[in-house]
Amino acid sequence: MKPFSYERATSPAAAAAAAARTEGAKFIAGGTNLLDLMKIGVEEPMHLIDLNGLALDTIEATSDGGLRIGALVRNTDLAADQRVRRDYGLLSRALLAGASGQLRNKATTAGNLLQRTRCPYFYDTNQPCNKRLPGSGCAAIGGSSRSLAVIGGSASCIAVQPSDMAVAMRVLDAVVETVRADGQTRRIPIADFHRLPGARPHVETVLERGELITGVTLPKPVGGMHIYHKVRDRASYAFALVSVAAIVQKDGSGRVALGGVAPKPWRDEAAEPYLPQGAKIFTAHLLANATPTGENAFKVVLAERTLHAVLAEAKGDAS
Amino acid sequence: MKFDTPATTNPIDRLKVVGQPLDRIDGPHKTTGTAHYAYEQHEAAPNHAYGYIVASSIPKGRIKGIDLTRARRAPGVLAIVTAQSAGKLGKGKFNTAALLGGPTIEHYHQAVALVVAETFEQARAAAALVKVDYARTSGAFDLRAAVASATKPKDEKADTAVGDFAGAYAGAEVTFEGRYTTPDHSHAMMEPHASIASWTGDKLTLWTSNQMIAWGAGDVATTLGVPKENVRLIAPYIGGGFGGKLFVRSDALLAALGARAARRAVAVTLPRPLIFNNTTHRPATIQRIRIGATKDGTITAIGHESWSGDLPGGKPETAVAQTRLLYAGANRMTAMRLAVLDLPEGNAMRAPGEASGLMALEIAMDEMADKLGMDPVEFRIRNDTQVDPENPERPFSQRQLVQCLRTGANRFDWNKRIIKPASTRDGRWLVGTGVAAAFRNNLTEKSGARVRLDARGRVTVETDMTDIGTGSYTIIAQTAAEMLGLPVDRIDVHLGDSSFPVSSGSGGQWGGNSSTAGVYAACVKLREAIAQKLGMNPDDAVFEDGNVRSGQRTESLTGVAKGGDIVAEDSMEYGDLGKRYQQSTFGAHFVEVGVDAATAEIRIRRMLAVCAAGRILNPKTARSQVIGAMTMGAGAALMEELVVDKRLGFFVNHDLAGYEVPVHADIPHQEVVFLDETDAMSSPMKAKGVGELGLCGVAAAIANAVHHATGVRVRDYPVTLDKLLGEMPSLG
């Protein structure tokens, strides 16, 4: 770990300005991902701006019937919030499917959106990785790729965004609220928040230099059955091979996003009219452009079969 | 003391303390943080510095140069050790690759330097500044591709043959052939490898996490080129080993070299991401099994071949070992072939040989039972043998495999099982059950101890035996208490110090029986010394309830040593009973799994192990051993795999996020039954090993249950959902 300087942020705007101003600055909140990466030399910030003192840790109702979640709301608290559990059950279930109790106690809403990939080559500083060291190449392509992306990747990177929470938020049409270095705020639809890797996989979101997430808003509830089905090799404390976040209405219409398959939560609104026609037809549309590797082609089949189970559950057919 | 005739009645048979399910006596130390592990010996080695290992970034080649300029200038740096600066180093008897690489690099993450600094963080930061210039050469990393070049290993009993296997197999009424693969496994013990080294003149003290103190002291001395008596190893507590700490590893050697260079005590631990490629692992295997039988299920031919790889000079994974002994059959063959691979060093991991071998053999037995239309329990029972099938004049000392299978079948409601696969559904789950035999040889090793009765009437036991979480402290205290007629709270046990008498150490499931037998021998001597001191006849002195009794005379043990401690030391050695009788441990594993009809996720629902392993010295710690082993078996069956990058030559998933082991949610209720038995051929304790038996066969029982649930047969471990999906029933 390289030596770094440290400051406590006094306001979101000041934090953003400091981050833009200071070479090699990073925000730290829960630190559950950043500290691990610093210890192994994957992240080497020169300056840390600690956000934990900022009053961004509340969940409030919005005037249009939605919820505004502060950037620092811990995953545990978000998952347990009565309004979230009642109106956005999908979000609560996705959070509880992720990490462990201890990690959820520390991890924040904004930090969860920004967590880095779990591609094993990203974690090994001896290996080429365009995300970690731009231009160095991608060891995962042609290597161990069982857990990696089947769609949305590029010739530079096939890493997966590992967040469960973000997949639920994508289905809920969440909006990420930020403040920029110049003090201006903006609202970024979750669909636009994460970037596909293209030729620049190290740029993972549309956030600008210094730009700080202050919260996430959820539009007013849409009802329906909320299901988060995460598939993994072991029963807990593992990243998704595939996850399905779905809101299914009584008439069979609904919204679906997939986790574990792409560099961002994978949703295609244009495919959703096909949802009432069943998992096979819908998945064929959603993953039409999939380019899996030999090792992860099973994810396409798995996504379809998992969605089949989700749709059966939505219908009340438990088996 | 020499054990060369079967045990007769002795004081252990009273079973007032031995055989009781006592809580482990070191438990309070562990739960209150007062059990100090190797890396926590700050009081014993005050003011120690920290060393951080620089590991090779290439799997094979040589170091062209190392630039230490920036690292030397980094804050807090005290010394840097490289192969060049370390001087001439030997290689330990138990190491295949050098612990400090350079200029030759033998495997990925081989240590190439140690940076010593005031703090851990400084050492780590400076280590990142060491610049190594490598010349990479090509290597062999793919076992499948290396099979053709595999050769017969030199030092092992590589091939065995009895009768005419080829003829009998060709002529059998029913035949089965299967090919199976098991991946490389990591020990993944909780406590990382760690050591603190301190030199006083030319004498080295090394607090380390090691299962085998005498082997370790010897190999440290050999590697450093110093006399063995100048090396003291201390390992009072060890947070798991599973074979990964049988041998001296780079943490110990580099702590010693770092301490010498820095003229300070130095602590070195292996960061978790380094352990998987820097240390040893259970090697992958490719196995071929052929079974021929009559229509009624009597095996007439059984053949087992195994291929594995290791670094030059390494050893094969002895995956055919159990097939030489487990089932009858007049015509038999086994063969092992070893390929050179340039992956990290393969070596022992819990139940080496049998664990991997049974993963294959016990699926093959299930497949053959299927083919014969026989119940898999009955098929195994039909082919039981009470003698070594390769050498029929050698009987087993004790063999209750059939009783294990029958007891387990009964408890598991096996007779209610629908034989046809894929016939039971419970909601979203396809449900199936599987069985496998458990088998692991029982080894006896020479083991010594020193026992001392003091003026307070307390007895202290000293032996270099280790407790790797197994319960050694407790069963040794129970043994001494039983022998001397004392309650267990009057026994103090000191372990893991090379200044104590040499023990069996912890490995190969020999430690429990062997180390307590050594304590037994020392206690026999102490009883004689006490009787003599009291003027009693040692032959009729009875040690009971804190007293010694002979004829009409009774003396309290509290008073005997008032004039000075009475000390006795002895070891137990073994004659040829292990040659004349085949000593093995047996068991049966029964497992029920659910497989998600849609996603093919596999979740275990029930596990039962029935074990026949001689006298159980402490049913509580023995049960803990077995349920831990069953958990390890669940990992081997369903998730554990060191993923080899065959291009880049290393294990890719080298942390505990990538190398998944079971979590609590993976493990259902586990039931363990010990058959009530004693084995008079094993030692005066009449006990055998149990710590590895619990693992043997578990993975196959799970794989067989998955097949029973789904009808899909997976022959390549781990059995993961991607291997099932293609053949799962359509969802319509």
Partners of residue B657 in chain A, C-beta under 8 Å:
118, 239
Distance from CA of A144 to the nearest CA of B (A): 6
Amino acid at B489: D
Amino acid at B515: S
DSSP state of B719: -
Distance of CA B63 to the CA centre of its chain: 34
Please report, for residues A103, A293, B620, B627, B694, the alpha-carbon distance to residue B607 in angstroms, rounded to integers and kept in the order given: 30, 36, 18, 9, 11
Sequential DSSP letters for chain A: ----EEEE-SSHHHHHHHHHHSTTEEEESS-TTHHHHHHTTS---SEEEE-TTSS---EEE-TTS-EEEETT-BHHHHHH-HHHHHH-HHHHHHHHTSS-HHHHHH-BHHHHHHPPP--TTTT-TTS-BTTTSTTS-BSSTTS--TTS-SSS--SS-------SHHHHHHHTT-EEEEE-TTS-EEEEEHHHHBPP-TT-TT--BSPPTT-EEEEEEEPSP--SEEEEEEE-SSSSSS--SEEEEEEE-TTS-EEEEEESSSSS-B--GGGGGGGGG-HHHHHHHHTTT----TTTTHHHHHHHHHHHHHHHHHTT---
A279–B contact, CB cutoff 8 A: yes
Q: Which residue among B597, B655, B663 places its CB closest to the CB of A123?
A: B655
Number of Cβ atoms within 10 Å of the Cβ of B534: 17
Q: Which of B211, B214, B205 is nearest to B502 (CA)?
A: B214
Tell me whether residues A305 and B725 touch, CB distance under 8 A: yes
The number of C-alpha atoms within 13 Å of B728 and in the hemisphere containing its C-beta is 24
Contacts of B502 by beta carbon, 8 Å cutoff, 6+ apart? B213, B214, B446, B447, B448, B464, B571
Tell me whether residues B731 and A235 touch, CB distance under 8 A: no
Which of A115, A117, A126 has the most B C-beta neighbours within 10 Å, making it the best mutation to test the interface with B? A126
Selecting among B191, B305, B317, B692, the annotated active-site residue is: B692
The pLDDT, as a whole number, for residue A2 is: 79
Distance from CA of A261 to the nearest CA of B (A): 14
Which of A144, A146, A307 has the most B C-beta neighbours within 10 Å, making it the best mutation to test the interface with B? A144
- What ipTM describes this predicted complex? 0.97
User: How far is it, in rounded angstroms, from Cα B199 to Cα B260?
Assistant: 7
The pLDDT, as a whole number, for residue B155 is: 74
Q: Which residue among A139, A144, A302 places its CB closest to the CB of B725?
A: A302
Give pLDDT tens digits for B486-495. Answer: 999 999 999 9
Which of A1, A129, A233, A244 has the most B C-beta neighbours within 10 Å, making it the best mutation to test the interface with B? A233
A166–B contact, CB cutoff 8 A: no
Give pLDDT tens digits for B561-596. Answer: 999 999 999 999 999 999 999 999 999 999 999 999
What count of residues does chain A have?
319
Q: Which residue among B124, B427, B599 places its CB closest to the CB of A305?
A: B599
Tell me whether residues B428 and A318 touch, CB distance under 8 A: yes
* Closest A-chain CA to B428: A319
Q: Note which residues in 235-264 of chain A have CB less than 8 A from chain B.
A: 235-239, 241-242
Kindly give the pairing relationship between strand B131-136 and strand B61-67.
antiparallel
Give pLDDT tens digits for B595-638. Answer: 999 999 999 999 999 999 999 999 999 999 999 999 999 999 99
Q: Which two tokens stand for residue B61?
A: 């080649």
Tell me whether residues A120 and B654 touch, CB distance under 8 A: yes
Return the H-helix or E-strand segment holding B379.
helix B376-382
B660–A contact, CB cutoff 8 A: yes
User: How far is it, in rounded angstroms, from Cα B494 to Cα B503?
Assistant: 12
Q: Which two tokens stand for residue B419?
A: 């034989």
Tell me whether residues B663 and A124 touch, CB distance under 8 A: no
Q: Which residue among B599, B648, B660 places its CB closest to the CB of A309?
A: B599
Kindly give the pairing relationship between strand A47-50 and strand B131-136.
unpaired
Distance from CA of B188 to the nearest CA of A (A): 16
B295–A contact, CB cutoff 8 A: no
Query: How many contiguous H segments (helices) and E segments (strands) does chain B have?
Result: 19, 30
Sheet with strand B602-612: strands edge to edge? B425-426, B429-441, B584-596, B602-612, B669-674
Partners of residue B664 in chain A, C-beta under 8 Å:
236
Tell me whether residues A298 and B731 touch, CB distance under 8 A: no
DSSP state of B373: T
Residue-wise burial string across B360-383, b where 16 or more C-beta atoms lie within 10 A, e elsewhere: bbbbbbbbbbbebebbbbebbbbb
Q: Which residues are bridge partners to B180 per DSSP?
A: B287
Q: Which residue among A2, A121, A319 places its CB closest to the CB of B427?
A: A319
Q: Which of B707, B706, B701 is nearest to B594 (CA)?
A: B706
A234–B contact, CB cutoff 8 A: yes
The pLDDT, as a whole number, for residue A1 is: 66
Q: What does residue B57 show for φ and ψ, rounded to 5 degrees?
A: -95, 0
Q: Which two tokens stand for residue B9?
A: 């009645």
pLDDT in tens, chain A (319 residues): 678 999 999 999 999 999 999 999 999 999 999 999 999 999 999 999 999 999 999 999 999 999 999 999 999 999 999 999 999 999 999 999 999 999 999 999 999 999 999 999 999 999 999 999 999 999 999 999 999 999 999 999 999 999 999 999 999 999 999 999 999 999 999 999 999 999 999 999 999 999 999 999 999 999 999 999 999 999 999 999 999 999 999 999 999 999 999 999 999 999 999 999 999 999 999 999 999 999 999 999 999 999 999 999 999 875 4
* Closest B-chain CA to A303: B599
Q: Which residue among B124, B647, B662 places its CB closest to the CB of A234?
A: B662
Tell me whether residues B596 and A309 touch, CB distance under 8 A: yes
How many beta-carbon pairs below 8 A join chains A and B?
Answer: 111
A126–B contact, CB cutoff 8 A: yes
Which parts of chain B sit beneath pLDDT 70?
A: none
Answer yes or no: are the C-beta atoms of B347 and B685 closer than 8 Å.
no
Residue B692 appears among annotated catalytic residues: yes
Q: Which two tokens stand for residue B373?
A: 């239309």
Q: For every residue of B164-215, which 3-state class applies, written as one string? A: CHHHHHHHCCEEEEEEEEECEECCCCCCCCEEEEEEECCEEEEEECCCCHHH
Sign, Cα dihedral of B41, B42, B45, B48:
positive
Tell me whether residues B721 and A302 touch, CB distance under 8 A: yes
Kindly give the pairing relationship between strand A175-179 and strand B159-162.
unpaired
Q: Which residues are bridge partners to B462 per DSSP?
A: B450, B494
The pLDDT, as a whole number, for residue A319 is: 46
Q: Which two tokens stand for residue B372?
A: 């014969």
A47–B contact, CB cutoff 8 A: no
Tell me whether residues A234 and B666 touch, CB distance under 8 A: yes
User: How far is it, in rounded angstroms, from Cα B697 to Cα B358?
Assistant: 5
